[in-house]
Structures are given as structure tokens and as C-alpha cells.
Structure 1
Amino acid sequence: MKYAQHLASEKLKLVQPTFQKGLMAIMLVGAVLVSVGCKPESKQDVQPQAAVMPAPVVMVANAKAQDVPLYINSIGQAVATEAVTIMPRISGQVVEKCFEDGAVIRKGQTLFKLDRIPFEAALASAEAQLAQSEASLDFANIELARYETIAGTNAVSKTDYDTKKNAVKVAKAQVAAAQASVRTARIRLDYCTITSPIDGRAGARLVDVGNIVRENDTAMLSIQKLSLIYAQFTINEQQLAQVRQYMSEHSLKAYVKLPGDAGQGVEGDVTFLNNAVEQATGTVRLRATMVNDDMHFWAGQFVNVQLVLKTLDDAVLVPQAAVQLSQKGQYVLSVDEQDHAQYRPVKTGQSHEQWIVVDGIKSGERVIVDGQLMVRPGGPVTIPQTAQATDVKSAQTSKTKAANAS
């Protein structure tokens, strides 16, 4: 018993130092943790807070209501309303040119003169033949009158009398033929003077003085009337039904301009629609007639043609820069009274200069024309006073100012 108590006392002595060492270790670790926990945070230990993004700066323009045309654009060509190629109606030698190349020509103005001598001789011969025929007729009438006085007697036979009557008829026919020959000779003599059949502008002469020209064969000059001019253009056959519908309701207008012209162009009336679709191209030819007194258009020039079908009343337009495209289709970002951006799906129509017709926006609403990339639908936006644009031009001016300021 005593031995057992002694053994337990010895074990206790061995355990106590070990326990004390462990306890001290635990207390040391706790002190270290407390000291670390109580240590003040350094600047490096402070985590930065997330910055609040400012509302993006945008520029806006007001949607507007305006009467605009429904149109078809096409490319055409200016064509003279009248064009003639001058050819001689007789053969002969050119002895005089009476105009300047490129000059304005009036109807009836002398252009060329041909040698008259052969035709004057032909006229003199015809007139001589006419005089001879008239003399023969006079003699035949005298003979017939003589025979008529004795026709009731047996002095002449009935056959002789009928011969005299026939001679008068033949002489009359010969006179008529001679008169026709004289008229023809005079006409051919008049053809020696070649005149213009229309008002217009002369091209370059094709023959010079001294040349021999052949009747109805030699081209001498081209004249084109440009004071009225055609704009000839085409539409595709899918547009034909629509064009015919509006043509049946009212006369169609077209606005024509050269590629470098500004503005809408010169107004013309659509005066011709071809009666067939061209099989090779699938197009139909139309023609607009315009006044061209100032010679702005020249025959052969390519022109831009806007065929107006009807007028859309109070159509809503926004700047083209306002219309964006997403996977869902076209949209516009509008700005409400609280300066928050709103997603607005739209359907677009035809463009008019820098504006485009839209369905889905009301007149007067503000739409974003620049800065859409940073805008979140439903989120706030910032609109500088310089960016309160009412049209495309002021919006572009505001954009330039904002860019310069940044």
C-alpha cells in the first residue's frame, strides 16, 4: 500500500512540470494573438471601398413632327426633249455655213447653204417645159374650136372631131405635169438653204464648206432642245404596283439633281411610264419633264431622282445618330423628365438628310444622340446645358464643345 502511494507520488511529480510547460505555451500563443489583434491597422491593410460611378454625360435632341414625302430613289440620265440630226434633202456642194458650233439655234434659222446653180437651171428648164405645154394646149383648143363650128356638117368626120377633143385633154395633162415639175424644181432649189426645224443648241458641225453631201444620207449637224429636259430613270418591277397605284390617284412629282447639288433638287412632272418591264434588267422606265431655262442640266448627264409617291403628314423624325441596333432590333434611348434613360424599341422608315422617320417615339421627346455606350436603361444620365440640342446641327456643335472641354 505504501509502495503504491509512493509510486503515484512520483508520477505526479513527473507530470506537473510537463503540464506547467504546456500551460505556459498556451498562454504565450494567446498573448501573441491578442497583441496582433490589438495592433492598429496600417494603411496597407485598409481595403479601398468601391467608387460610385457618375451618371454618364450624353447629348440629346428633340424628336420632331414634320410632313415628309414617301419616295423612291433612283439614278437616271438627262435626255433632251427634242433632238434632230440635220441631213440634206438634196445632193450638192456646201458653199456656206451660217452658225457657230455650240450656239443657241432658233427654229427656221439658216444653217447651211448648198450650191444653187444646178437647181436654178433645173427650175428654168421646168418653166420652159411648162411654157411649151401651155402653148400646145392653146393650139389644141384653137383646133377644137374650129372643128366644133363644122361638126354638124359633113365637112369633117366624127373621128377627126374626137381626135381634136382628145388632143386638148392631152395638152392639159402635159401642162399639169409641167406645172408639177416647176413646183418640184422650186422646192429642190429651196432645199439649197438648210434651216433648223427646232429651237435648241447646236453641236459641232459634221461637214465643212466645200464638201459634197448626199441626199438624206450625210449627217451635217446635231441639234438638241434643252430648255425643257427629261430625267429618264427606272424602278424595279416590285415597285411597279405601288407606283401605278399612286399614279392613278394623282400626278406624281420627281425631284432631280446632279450628284454634287445641294438641296432637294429641281421639281419635275412624271410624264411617262413605259408599257413593259425590260426582261434583261427587271426594271420599268419612267420619265420626268423639267424646265431647264438656266441650262443647269446637260443631255447625257447622270442625275439623282427622288420619285415622290405621297406626303406623310406629321411624321415623327429623330436624328439618325439616335437609332441603335441590338439583337432585339432597332431602339432609341430616350430621356424622361427625371433625366433617366429609357429603352424604346422603334421601327424606322425613310431617311431625310440627317433625320429618319421612326414609329415608337412621340414628337418633343428627348432622345440620346451621343454617349449611348455608357448608358444603362433606367439609369440616370447627365445632360450639360450645351448639349440640350433641338436639332442635329446643335447636337453636333454640343458634341464638339464637350470634346474640347474634356
Structure 2
Amino acid sequence: MLFKPDTKEGAKEGTAKKSRGRGFVMTLITLAILGGLGYFGWTVWHQQPQQANGRNQRPDLPVPVLAATPRIQDVPVYLDGVGTIRALNTVTVRSQVDGKLIAVKFTEGQDVKKGDVLGEIDPALYQATYDQAVAKKAQDEAQLANQRIDLTRYEQLAASNAGSKQQADTQRAAVAQTEALVKADQAAIDNAAATLSYTKIVAPLSGRAGLRQVDQGNIIHAADATGLLVITQLQPIAVWFSLPQQQIMRVNAAASKGTLAVDVFGNDGITVIDTGKLTGIDNQVDQTTGTLKLKAEFPNANYQLWPGQFVNVRLKVETLMQALVVPTSAVQRGPIGTFSYVIGEDNVVSAKPVTVTQQNEHDAVIASGLSPTDKVVTTGFANLSDGSKVVVGRDDQTPSADLAPRKRTRGPDGQKKDGQAKDGQKDGQGKDGEHRAKRSSSEGDQKEQTGPAPGPGASGPGAKQP
């Protein structure tokens, strides 16, 4: 018996197979499109830095640089620190007696000399005490004179046996007692005179008077804490500064050889405004900061240093004799240390490692790595690498810094705008425009490179050939 196949189920199976085939093809197409887009993006992303480097780097031209030759000279070695200016002596002037302040004889801020009268206290009571002491002495001296006359008489009577010797001895003791009393009176006079002199308040040292603390007419006491004024000695003046504890041995070794010079800088941190000498080193290290305090003394002839002011100081500890010195800009730092670019034959640079002994803003002392005959690069490191060819410019070709970035003109279009400004201008004015275009183009190229512009023989995209 024959069975008729189910045509509906076969149609469904065929339709499912076709659907799976179309889905697989669409998936492959989608993956191909995504892969193409990814490759395109990756290519563009990697080509942009290369194109930028190609624009910045100009392999067809040598790198413009400035160079310098190492020099031999004596170099002082300094230790830098931060210090505080203090008056060499500071005195709070107080009254030594109690009384009414009847006169103030100084001007705030004036320079006073030692012994100048600054104020005066009412001397009436102290003058009376002095007069009493003088009168008491005169009384005792008169009594002593009478007792001496009586003693002479008693001694004569005792010698002739007309009087007793005991009476003469008693009178002699009375005379000695009165003589001692006269000496006590003199001491009282001296005490009263000293107390009377204290009514005039005088300057104990020469210096600059501060602001007045007590006004005239007030009752002042010797126990007052404020005093009448404060005098500070400004000439000479002292500076207390600190150095790291690691420099103790170096400072002590230098101080043992003689007096050390100390410089103090102005507000700009560059100008030396006064030079003095080291006068003291503290006997212990501050455990909180790990520093050692030192004291220096300065003449302060022009009053450029003021108490309480913070200053930068440097202490000269030694001098390096016949040292090899290069500009600080010639020393570069790399992953393995310091190095310098040395210009060799055919103006090709090579990087040489160097050892720096000390360095400041301007010069660096080289211990090894360079010789006095080498020529080192000081400016123009932006496009410089080991083995690059350079063109050495002059110092007067160093590009000057602009206050704001200029608008750069690149290519011949900019030259046409400047060179052919107007059709009706004369030939001389046209040439003037061409010169301005050349100058603008060269300045635009200089901003892309560190160092001076290339020499007359070099050419660039913004330069117009004659």
C-alpha cells in the first residue's frame, strides 16, 4: 500500500533552511563591515601623530641651536638657607624710680645715642632726700670737729697727770664713732644722688627708638612691664638662619679655617644687598626640624635690613679652584642621569654623560664627561637627538619672547597678502612688503623650534627664494 507524503511539512523544512542560510550571510556581511570600519579608524588614529610629527619635524633641515664652550674658573661653594633678621641688641627702657612723667624728650622712630635723655620724672621728692642726706653729713662733721678738739685737750691733761687717761680713751672712741657716722652720711648722699639721677631716663645704648608706650603726665613705676619705649640696635644687625643637619661637618670644617662670609638677598632673591660674617653656631640640632641654627652679623649701612624680616641667605664654605664650568642649560637629564649634547665633526651632536658637582641658575660645575675644548648645546633641544645635524647660531639670533602669540603666516599665500598689498604701490613699497612677509614667516617657524633661526643658507616653507 502506498502513502502520499506530507507536502506541508516538507515546505516548512525548506523555508527554515533558507532562513538559516540568509542569517549566516547577513552575519558575515555585518562582521566584514565592522572589521573594515575598525581598520579604517585604527589607520587614521595612527596616521595623525605621524603626520603631526612630520609637520613639526623637518628632517630636511639641520636643527638650529646655540652652543657654548666650557670655561675654567674659580667657583665659590655656597650653602643656602632661610633666616630671620633680629636686632643685635634690644632694650626695653623702663624707669628705675616711681613718679610722675613730666617730660618726654625723644621722637618716635629717631636714632638715639647712648646717654641721651629720653624722659624725665618729677625730681622734687628725690631732691629733698638728697638735701637731707647732705645736711645730716654736715651736722655730723661739725660734731666730729668738736670731738676732735676735746680729744686733744684730754690727751694733754692725761700727759701732765692733770686728767685721767680713761677720759681721753673714751673721747678717742667717740671721735672714731662720729667719723664712721660721717662715712655713713656720705653713703646716704651717694644713694640719694643716684636715686635723683634716675629721674632722668637715659638711653642705655645707641639705636633706633620705637613707639612711645607711656604718655607724658602718667605715674610710672619701676615695676611696670611695658616701659617707656623699646630701643633696637640696627647697626650692626644680626640674622639667624638654619641649615640641614647634614651640613654640620662641612660648616664646622670651614669655620675652623677662618671667618666665613655670609650674603643676604633682597626681595627678588637674586640681588645681594649686604655681606657679613658668621659669628655663631648653635650647640645642638633642633629635633623638630632637623636643622642647625647659625648667627651672622651684617653692617647694615643703608638700613636695608629690618628686624623681623624673612630673608634668603647663603654661606660660603669653600672655593673650587680651576673648575670646569658650563651654562646650566647645557646640562640635560635623562633616564640614566645627566648628559650634555656635544657638537662634533660636521656639526653632528652626540650625547655624553656628565657628572655635576654643583649647579645654580646660571652655571654648572662639571666633574667629568667634558673637556675645555668641547662645544656643548645650550638652546634648541626640542627637535634634538643623538646623532642629529645642527646649525649653530649666534647669541643675537635668540628669538625674543612675545607678550602674546602672533598670528603665523605659512606658505606662499601669506607672502602674497603681504608682498602684493596694493596694485598702485611703488616698487620700493612692494619690496618692503616682501621683507615683512619673510620676517613673519621666519618668526612663525621659530615658534615651532627651540633655538635661533637657521642661517642665511637655510630655506623653509615660509621663506621666499630670491
TM-score when scaled to structure 2? 0.69
Aligned AA (2:190): R
Q: Indicate if the aligned counterparts of 2:325 and 2:365 stay in contact, CA closer than 8 A.
A: yes
Q: Distance in 2 between matches of 1:127 and 1:222?
A: 36
1:404/1:121 Cα in 2 relative to 1: closer, same or farther (>3 Å)?
farther
- Say if 1:367 and 1:398 are closer, same or farther in 2 by CA, change over 3 A: farther
- Which residue, 237, 240, 243 being the options, matches 2:245? 237
Kindly provide the CA deviation profile for residues 65-102 of structure 1, in whole angstroms up to 9, marking residues without a partner as x. 33221110001111222221111122221100001101
Q: In structure 1, the residue corresponding to 2:321 is in which secondary structure?
A: strand
Please give the per-residue CA displacement for 1:117-154, whole angstroms capped at 9, x wherever unaligned.
Answer: 11111111111111111122112212212211111355
After TM superposition, give the deviation of residue 365 of structure 1 in Å. Answer: 3.1
Contact 2:349-2:388 within 8 A present in 1 as well: yes
Q: For 1:372-387, list aligned pairs within 5 A.
A: 372-383=381-392, 387=393
The separation in 2 between residues aligned to 1:310 and 1:225, in whole angstroms, is 31
Who wins on radius of gyration, i.e. which is larger? Answer: 1
Partner residue in 2 for 1:224? 232
- From 113, 116, 127, give the equivalent of 1:109: 116
Query: What's the offset of the Cα at 1:364?
Result: 5.4
CA drift of 1:275 comes to 2.9
Paired letter, 1:178: D
Question: TM-score, normalized by length of structure 1?
Answer: 0.79
CA contact (8 A) 1:88 1:194 kept: yes
User: Of 192, 197, 200, which aligns to 2:199?
Assistant: 192
Which ranges of structure 1 fall in alignment gaps of 5 or more residues?
1-49
Q: CA–CA distance in 2 between the matches of 1:184 and 1:222?
A: 27
Does structure 1 retain, via aligned residues, the 8 Å contact 2:357–2:365?
yes
User: C-alpha deviations, 1:223-268, integer Å up to 9, x for none?
Assistant: 1111211122122222111111111223211111233254344221
Q: Distance in 2 between matches of 1:137 and 1:106?
A: 45
What SS does the corresponding residue of 2:86 show, helix, strand or coil?
Answer: strand
What is the CA distance between 1:388 and its match in structure 2?
2.9
Moved more, 307-316 or 116-125: 307-316
Corresponding residue to 1:129 among 118, 122, 136? 136
AA partner of residue 127 (structure 1): V
Preserved CA contact (<8 Å) 1:61 1:319 = no
Larger deviation: 271-280 or 230-239?
Answer: 271-280
Deviation at 1:187, TM superposition (A): 1.5
* Identical-pair percentage: 32
Note the alpha carbon deviations across 1:259-306, whole angstroms, 9 max, x for none: 325434422111222233334433322222211121011111111111
Letter in 2 for 1:140: Q
Task: State the match for 2:103 in structure 1.
Answer: 96
Worse-superposed segment, 171-180 or 54-63? 54-63
Q: Residue 370 in 1 paired to residue 386 in 2?
A: no
Match for 1:368: what amino acid?
A: V
Which amino acid letter does the alignment assign opposite residue 145 of structure 1?
Answer: T
Give the number of the structure with larger relative contact order, counting CA–CA contacts within 8 Å between residues 6 or more apart: 1
Aligned residue runs from structure 1 range 31-50, under 5 A:
none
2:333 pairs with 1:325: yes
Query: In the alignment, residue 76 of structure 1 is paired with which amino acid?
Result: G
Q: Does 1:202 align with 2:209?
A: yes
Alignment of 1:6-405 (within 5 A): 53-62=59-68, 63-152=70-159, 155-215=162-222, 217-218=224-225, 219-260=227-268, 262-359=270-367, 360-363=369-372, 365-383=374-392, 387-389=393-395, 397=399, 404-405=444-445
Task: Tell me the C-alpha RMSD between the 2 structures.
Answer: 2.5
Amino acid at match of 1:308: K
The count of aligned residue pairs is 350
Contact 2:112 2:203 in 1 (8 A): yes
For 1:344 and 1:395, how far apart are their aligned partners in 2?
A: 26
